[in-house]
Amino acid sequence: MESKGMSKSSQLRRPLHPQLDQVAARVSEFARQLRAEFADLIREDAHGFKVAVVRHVQHELPPHAGRPTSPHLDRAAALRAKGLTWREVCRFINPEFHAYERYRQQHFMESVRKALAARKRRPALQPTIAD
């Protein structure tokens, strides 16, 4: 099933999309420019330089698809934006919240706070439900 003149390993490395050939060429050119412009930094700490470049490139590109946003967290964010307290938000998004023991209520509120804080650190995501 091999194509003429191509080994199996080179077939696996071929881009899945034709435009990815152009991306590979651009990345190669970008890397060549970085090596020329920042040769001193690379000589001092090649690993650190590479880590920093990859981190900056990842930050500039869109994130992978990942999990869809959670509807109850979408609702919690909307309620917090309206000025409700964390306890009020938790009562709205979880009908069983009032029946929880105090420790479990605190744990639930903390989980919701942390989840919404994590959202703020990420690029904006589209909500799963309309309000």
- Give every CB contact of residue 73 below 8 A, 6+ residues apart in sequence: 93, 112, 115, 116, 119
Q: Which pLDDT score is estimated for 112?
A: 95
Mean pLDDT of 83-91: 95
Residue 113, pLDDT score: 95
pLDDT-based confidence at residue 19 (cuts at 50, 70, 90): confident
CB-based contact 118:73 (threshold 8 Å): no
Interatomic CA distance for residues 61 and 58, integer angstroms: 5
- Please give the pLDDT value at position 130: 47
Q: How many whole angstroms separate alpha carbon 29 and alpha carbon 97?
A: 56
pTM for this predicted structure:
0.46
pLDDT in tens, 34-69: 999 999 999 999 999 999 999 888 888 777 676 677
Whether 1 has a pLDDT exceeding 50, the answer reads no
Domain residue limits, the chain = 12-60, 71-121
- Determine the pLDDT at residue 120: 81
